[in-house]
C-alpha cells in the first residue's frame, strides 16, 4: 500500500496560512534540496482545490519561461495531480484529474494503486511499497486525511517566526493528534525540517509517573 505524506510550511505558533507572505526569507539552498527530495520527486500529488489553483496559476508559466525554476516546474507538471473538490473543475495543467467519489473510499483506493519503484520521503528510507503520494499545503485536506486515519507521515518545516494570525493546522476543539518524530534537521536559517509518523501516542501517565524521572537528592 502506498503511503500518503503531507508537507507544510509552519510558523512557530502553528500558523500554516499564506506562507508566501512570510516564509521566503527563510528559503535557502537547504530548504530547496529538502523540497526537491519530496515534492520534486513525487510521481503523484494529492491537492486541495485552492492549492491546485495556486500551483496551476504559476508553475506552467514558470516552466514555459525557462528560468532557474523551470526544471522544478517541469517535475510538477509531469507528476500526476489529483484534485479534491466539491465544485466544478476545468484543467489547463497537464496530468491533472479530479478525485472521484467520497474522500475516504477514494483515497483508500488511491493508496492501493501500484506506484513507481522508488520512494522520496526525505528520510532516506525505501518502504518497498512504491513512491508516496504527496500533499502540499491543502490544509483542509490534510485535516480530513488525519481525521480519517489516512495520512501516514507529516513533514513540517517549522519557521522561527510567530505570525500571531492566520489558520493553524491543528485547530481548537478537535481530538488530540499523537505524532512520533522520525527525523529532525536544523537549517542555517533556524528552520526545523521535521518528519512525523501519525499513530498511537505514549501510554497514559500522571505526575506521579513523571516525577520518578526528576533528579533525586
Q: In what order do the strands lie in the sheet with 96-98?
A: 96-98, 80-84, 44-48, 133-136, 4-11, 153-159, 192-198, 179-186
Instruction: With 0.85 as the threshold, say if the pTM is over it.
Output: yes
Residue 20, pLDDT score: 92
| DSSP secondary structure, the chain, as one string | ---EEEEEEEETTSB-S-GGGTSGGG--HHHHHHHHTTGGG-SEEEEEHHHHHHHHTTHHHHHHHT-TTHHHHHHHHHSEEEEE-SS-----STTEEE--S-HHHHHHHHHTS---S----SSS---SS-PPEEEES-HHHHHHHHHTT---EEEEEEES----SS-BSS-TTS----EEEEEEEE-TTS-EEEEEEES--PPP--HHHHGGGS---
Number of folded domains that form the chain: 1
pLDDT in tens, 184-197: 999 999 999 999 99
Residue 166 backbone zone (phi > 0: left; psi -120 to 50: alpha; other: beta): left
**Mean pLDDT along residues 90-100:** 93
The CATH number covering residue 197 comes to 3.40.430.10
Beta bridge partners of 158: 10, 192
Residues 48-94 pLDDT 10s: 999 999 999 999 999 999 999 999 999 999 999 999 998 888 899 99
Residue 119 has what pLDDT? 41
Contact (Cβ atoms closer than 8 angstroms) between residue 156 and residue 196 = yes
- 194, 155 in Cβ contact below 8 A? yes
What tens digit of pLDDT does each residue of 39-49 get? 999 999 999 99
For position 161, what pLDDT does the model report?
97
Domain that holds residue 131: 4-213
- Cα separation of 172 and 113, whole Å? 34
Confidence of residue 125 (pLDDT cuts 50, 70, 90): very low
Q: Is the pLDDT of residue 121 over 50?
A: no
Amino acid at each position: 500500500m502506498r503511503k500518503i505524506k503531507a508537507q507544510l510550511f509552519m510558523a512557530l505558533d502553528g500558523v500554516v496560512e499564506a506562507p508566501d507572505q512570510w516564509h521566503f526569507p527563510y528559503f535557502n539552498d537547504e530548504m530547496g534540496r529538502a523540497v526537491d527530495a519530496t515534492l520534486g520527486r513525487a510521481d503523484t500529488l494529492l491537492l486541495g482545490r485552492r492549492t491546485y489553483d495556486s500551483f496551476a496559476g504559476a508553475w506552467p508559466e514558470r516552466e514555459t519561461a525557462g528560468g532557474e525554476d523551470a526544471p522544478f516546474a517541469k517535475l510538477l507538471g509531469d507528476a500526476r495531480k489529483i484534485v479534491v473538490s466539491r465544485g466544478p473543475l476545468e484543467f489547463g495543467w497537464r496530468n491533472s484529474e479530479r478525485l472521484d467519489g467520497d474522500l475516504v473510499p477514494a483515497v483508500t483506493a488511491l493508496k492501493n494503486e501500484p506506484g513507481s519503484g522508488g520512494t522520496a520521503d526525505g528520510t532516506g528510507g525505501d518502504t518497498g511499497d512504491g513512491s508516496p503520494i504527496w500533499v502540499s499545503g491543502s490544509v483542509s485536506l490534510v485535516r480530513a486525511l488525519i481525521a480519517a486515519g489516512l495520512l501516514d507521515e507529516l513533514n513540517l518545516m517549522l519557521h522561527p517566526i510567530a505570525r500571531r494570525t492566520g489558520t493553524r493546522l491543528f485547530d481548537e476543539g478537535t481530538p488530540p493528534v499523537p505524532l512520533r518524530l522520525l527525523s529532525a534537521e536544523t537549517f542555517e536559517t533556524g528552520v526545523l525540517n521535521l518528519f512525523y509518523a501519525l499513530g498511537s501516542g505514549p501510554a497514559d501517565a500522571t505526575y506521579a509517573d513523571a516525577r520518578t524521572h526528576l533528579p533525586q537528592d
